[in-house]
């Protein structure tokens, strides 16, 4: 399998930062949203000044905290966080150095998962055990393994259960991306999972995904709201998505706006997905191809079809998945730093 560490090694022109992911048990039983809003306000005042970028996620009675920045500032932050009475029992599940991954000072997620704190905790303990044995995963993989692990039975016996194809999808004019995920769930007998995200200003981002098998490999298609494309957490995950489907409407106002959001989302990322364009006419493809090329993004005119033609969209995605072969590994073949 292809290893994912190479793009995140600090190279000339990119300062080296320290990265850490911890999971801890939430002390609070109610008012979680208000407390996270308070944490966000405090973090926005201090993180950028200290060169810290961070993500906080709450799920099933647990916090996941991914932070990165200059080593002295990050260590000071971790000390302050450890003393915060709103949580306890922090477990380190990732620690490394390299190029900055998180593109914004702050993002947060409140998951609607219904599983118990005990079930979530089992995944934390499993990751901590592997971490202590020297097995290191990419930070994005750690978050995914904890908050949204692959659930397909066919994937559970794999050596790396996070090695699955990921395909993003977003629509320029309406809700066709979410309709596509619903259609695919019905077609494959899968279940649609829903997430909500918060950035630096508000909590209005959302996504839905469905899992399925294709050509013997587990896959996940993720519908992203247009206003969620530039969310810090979403941008941090884009390098993990080899393909991103863009459903164009044929209306320049909406199509150009979507391409503009994608261009902004990909700016500065070490790896960007191949954009699979679905457009109702050749003229739209030509305009989007030119815009992508100007932004140094790869664009493929996957099909000329309406954005609500789920069957055509699926055939285009299926062809790309069949060509992709084996999904890449999420294991980082690097020495683990001392905690």
Mean pLDDT on 32-46: 83
Question: Is residue 171 located within the same domain as residue 138?
Answer: no
Question: Is residue 54 located within the same domain as residue 188?
Answer: no
pLDDT digits (tens, 9 = 90+) for 166-222: 999 999 999 999 999 999 999 999 999 988 776 555 545 788 999 999 989 999 999
Whether 155 is in a domain gets the answer no
Q: Is-above-0.75 flag for pTM?
A: yes
Dihedral over alpha carbons 147, 152, 156, 160 (to 10 degrees): -60
- Give the chain's mean pLDDT: 90
pLDDT digits (tens, 9 = 90+) for 274-315: 999 999 999 999 999 999 999 999 999 999 999 999 999 999
Question: Is residue 187 located within the same domain as residue 140?
Answer: no
Whether 330 is in a domain gets the answer no
Question: Is residue 136 located within the same domain as residue 199?
Answer: no
pLDDT of 313 reads 98
Whether 159 is in a domain gets the answer no
CATH of the domain at 36: 3.30.70.100
Mean pLDDT on 60-84: 94
Question: Is residue 302 located within the same domain as residue 193?
Answer: yes
DSSP code of residue 103: -
Whether 319 is in a domain gets the answer yes
pLDDT digits (tens, 9 = 90+) for 198-209: 655 554 578 899
Whether 135 is in a domain gets the answer yes
Whether 61 is in a domain gets the answer yes
Least Cα distance to 159 among 6, 4, 1, 7 occurs for 1
Domain end (from 105, 123, 149)? 149
Q: Is the pLDDT of residue 336 over 60?
A: no
pLDDT of 203 reads 47
pLDDT digits (tens, 9 = 90+) for 127-164: 999 999 888 889 999 999 999 999 999 888 888 888 99
Whether 21 is in a domain gets the answer yes
Question: Is residue 315 located within the same domain as residue 239?
Answer: yes
Q: At what angle do helices 310-324 and 176-188 cross, to 10 degrees?
A: 70
Structural domain of 41: 6-149
Q: Between β-strands 62-69 and 53-59, what pairing exists: parallel, antiparallel or unpaired?
A: antiparallel
Whether 194 is in a domain gets the answer yes
Q: How confident is the model at residue 335 (pLDDT cuts 50, 70, 90)?
A: very low
Q: What is the DSSP string of 168-235?
A: EEEESSSSHHHHHHHHHHHHHT---EEEEEE-SS-S-EEEEEEEEEETTEEEEEEEE-GGGTT-HHHH
Tokens of 142: 């750690």
CATH of the domain at 320: 3.40.50.300
Question: Is residue 232 located within the same domain as residue 123?
Answer: no
Helix (H, G, I), strand (E, B) or coil at 156: coil
Question: Is residue 136 located within the same domain as residue 181?
Answer: no
Question: Is residue 319 located within the same domain as residue 170?
Answer: yes
Domain end (from 100, 125, 149)? 149
Question: Is residue 181 located within the same domain as residue 237?
Answer: yes
Question: Is residue 177 located within the same domain as residue 312?
Answer: yes
Question: Is residue 172 located within the same domain as residue 315?
Answer: yes
């Amino acid at each position: 399998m292809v290893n994912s560490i190479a793009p995140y090694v600090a190279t000339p022109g990119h300062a080296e930062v320290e990265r850490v992911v911890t999971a801890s048990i939430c002390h609070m039983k109610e008012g979680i949203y208000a407390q996270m809003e308070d944490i966000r306000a405090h973090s926005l005042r201090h993180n950028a000044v200290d060169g810290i970028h961070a993500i906080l996620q709450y799920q099933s009675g647990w916090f996941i905290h991914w932070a990165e920045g200059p080593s002295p500032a990050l260590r000071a932050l971790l000390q302050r966080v450890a003393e915060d009475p709103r949580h306890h029992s922090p477990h380190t599940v990732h620690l490394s150095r390299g190029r900055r991954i998180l593109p914004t000072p702050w993002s947060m997620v409140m998951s609607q998962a219904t599983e118990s704190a005990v079930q979530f905790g089992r995944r934390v303990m499993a990751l901590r055990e592997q971490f202590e044995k020297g097995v290191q995963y990419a930070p994005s993989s750690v978050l995914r393994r904890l908050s949204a692990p692959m659930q397909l039975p066919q994937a559970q016996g794999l050596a790396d259960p996070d090695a699955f194809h990921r395909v993003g999808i977003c629509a320029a004019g309406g809700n066709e991306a979410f309709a596509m995920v619903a259609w695919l769930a019905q077609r494959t007998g899968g279940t649609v999972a829903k997430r909500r995200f918060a950035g630096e200003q508000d909590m209005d981002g959302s996504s839905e995904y469905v899992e399925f098998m294709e050509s013997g490999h587990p896959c996940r298609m993720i519908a992203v709201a247009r206003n969620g494309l530039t969310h810090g957490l979403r941008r941090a995950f884009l390098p993990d998505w080899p393909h991103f489907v863009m459903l164009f409407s044929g209306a320049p106002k909406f199509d150009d706006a979507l391409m503009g959001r994608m261009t902004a989302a990909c700016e500065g990322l070490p790896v960007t997905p191949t954009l699979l364009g679905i457009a109702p006419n050749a003229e739209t493809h030509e305009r989007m191809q030119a815009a992508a090329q100007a932004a140094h993004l790869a664009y493929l005119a996957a099909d000329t079809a309406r954005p609500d033609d789920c069957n055509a969209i699926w055939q285009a995605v299926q062809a790309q998945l069949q060509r992709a072969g084996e999904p890449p590994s999420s294991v980082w073949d690097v020495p683990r730093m001392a905690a």
